[in-house]
Amino acid sequence: MHELQVTEQILEIALKHVEGQDVSRIVNIHLRIGDLTDLEGEWIQHYFDYLSKGTLAENAKLEIEQVPIVLACEDCGAHFKVTKHELGEAKCPECQDDEPNFRMISGREYTVMNLEVV
């Protein structure tokens, strides 16, 4: 729901990283976004196309790499993937503990990884 604000941040970060460099335009922006976040990739691209008009990032493609939610079981050390909606009922596939203790290894990423520029 806050795709617009997130998109503004992406554009700002991208433009800051090409400032003062010999770049004629940004072609691709590579993002890593965790599955636990609720961002809609399609909306981000729409907003981006709108916000980036007239900047070096105009027409840039956002390449979104979704990062799965990975939990670590604190009881036996196993790592395993779950979907967002399985989280509240997750069970460790290794030890099957009834009162598990999980730590999240990945799934909350929100990162601008790199830019492809010409």
For Zn ion, the closer of residues 13 and 76 by Cβ is 76
Q: Which does 90 bind (CB under 5 to 8 A by kind): Zn ion, another protein, none?
A: another protein
Q: What is the DSSP string of the chain?
A: --HHHHHHHHHHHHHHHHTTSS-S-EEEEEEEEETTS---HHHHHHHHHHHTTTSTTTTPEEEEEEE-EEEEETTT--EEEE-GGGGGG---TTT--SS--EEEEES--EEEEEEEE-
14 touches 57 (CB < 8 A): yes
Residues from 79 through 108 that contact another protein (CB under 8 A): 84-85, 87-90, 100-102, 104, 108
Residues from 23 through 62 that contact another protein (CB under 8 A): 23-24, 27, 36-38
Stretch that binds Zn ion, among 4-12, 24-32, 67-75, 83-91 (CB under 5 A): 67-75
Residues that bind another protein (CB under 8 A): 1-2, 5-6, 9-10, 13-14, 17-18, 21, 23-24, 27, 36-38, 84-85, 87-90, 100-102, 104, 108, 110-118
Report the interface residues with Zn ion, using CB under 5 A. 73, 75-76, 78, 92, 94-95
